[in-house]
A = this chain, B = another copy of it.
Amino acid sequence: MATDTLTALLLLSCPDKIGLVSRISHFIFERGGNILDLDEHVEADGKRFSLRVAWDMQNFSISPADLNDAFTPLAREFNAQWNISFLEKRQRIAIFVSRHDHCLQEILWRHSMGEYAVDIPLIISNHPDLKPLAEHHCIPFHVFPISADNKQQQEAEELELLRKHSIDTVILARYMQILSPQFVQEYPVNIINIHHSFLPAFIGGDPYKQAHQRGVKIIGATSHYVTEDLDTGPIIEQDVIQISHRDTVDDLKRKGRDLERLVLARALQFHTEYRVLVCGQKTIVFQ
């Protein structure tokens, strides 16, 4: 990875005060960086400043390896939470699936089209069903059947595998097991789930059946970061589709599949392009 083709990406959040944009853009400018994209947001209550800025590292006077140290004094002064990444440094993604193939299919197809700048070194499942699909894409497929008895042990082995492959982000592509709090804590704000309802409506199991029983005229899907509380993590992306009384629960499942895969695909795109900043229970998605 040649330094001169890198794009630096700073995500930063801190208490608002005068001069933040100027100070940060000046930090970049005086070291020879050309800003490609800058988006900032101040919460309406005026207390929280958030920023995403991308710049070209060509001609930058500081090496990528030294950039964190160089920026630390400014970040300390601003009392900021922050993170610098490089767009060209590919995130490493593990996908968890069960038996439904549509979300996995969608992500692997988009990956093959070059839509995600990521590596996908492994797929993990509690069922063997989707092994052929993984093989078609030449991605190792690991089966960890889960029962009440073996869950703790299996999760430990999964985590071991993730560590071994230096996984940054876990995608739950209709993975039908609930991860333990211990597992979730290993990947804070780095596990992305797709829930097949318009959260917070229809939390929990069988949301399409719940939607059918309630007689709603629209169904939705929600992609969110996984926290220890079920279906209540920060929402990254949502979308909906119209339905009618003619639709059975099976029709909702069929229509919902199209939503689920598109919503998860977009959430993954936002995440891998470092567009998402989590603030408490909510996200800022810089677009």
Residues of A within 8 A of B (CB): 18-23, 25-26, 28-30, 32-42, 44, 102, 105, 109, 113, 115, 136, 198-202, 213-218, 220, 234-240, 244-246, 248, 254, 257-258, 262, 281-285, 287
Contact = CB atoms under 8 A, between A and B. Distances in A.
A282 B245 contact: yes
Given A216-B238, A244-B285, 17 more contacts: A19-B29, A38-B40, A105-B109, A113-B257, A136-B136, A198-B218, A199-B201, A199-B214, A213-B281, A214-B235, A215-B234, A215-B282, A215-B283, A217-B235, A217-B237, A244-B287, A245-B284
Nearest to A22: B29
Contacts of A258: 262
Q: How many copies does the complex hold?
A: 4
A276 B215 CA distance: 13
Q: Which 8 A-B pairs give the minimum distances between C-beta atoms?
A: A215-B282, A22-B29, A201-B201, A22-B25, A44-B248, A245-B284, A18-B34, A217-B238
A245 B285 contact: yes
Nearest to A28: B22
22 contacts: A18-B32, A22-B22, A22-B26, A22-B28, A22-B30, A37-B42, A39-B39, A199-B214, A200-B201, A213-B281, A214-B282, A215-B282, A216-B238, A217-B235, A217-B238, A218-B238, A218-B239, A218-B240, A244-B285, A244-B287, A245-B282, A245-B284
Contacts of A34: 18-19
A235 B215 contact: yes
A76 to B, nearest CB: 20
Contact of A41 (B23, B40, B245): B245
B281 A215 contact: yes
A22 B35 contact: yes
A94 B5 CA distance: 45
Given A38-B21, A198-B201, A245-B284, A240 B237 contact: no
A200 B202 contact: yes
A246 B41 contact: yes
Given A18-B34, A21-B35, A245-B283, A214 B240 contact: no
Nearest to A239: B218
A238 B218 CA distance: 7
A20 B215 CA distance: 25
Contacts of A240: 218, 220, 240
Contacts of A234: 215
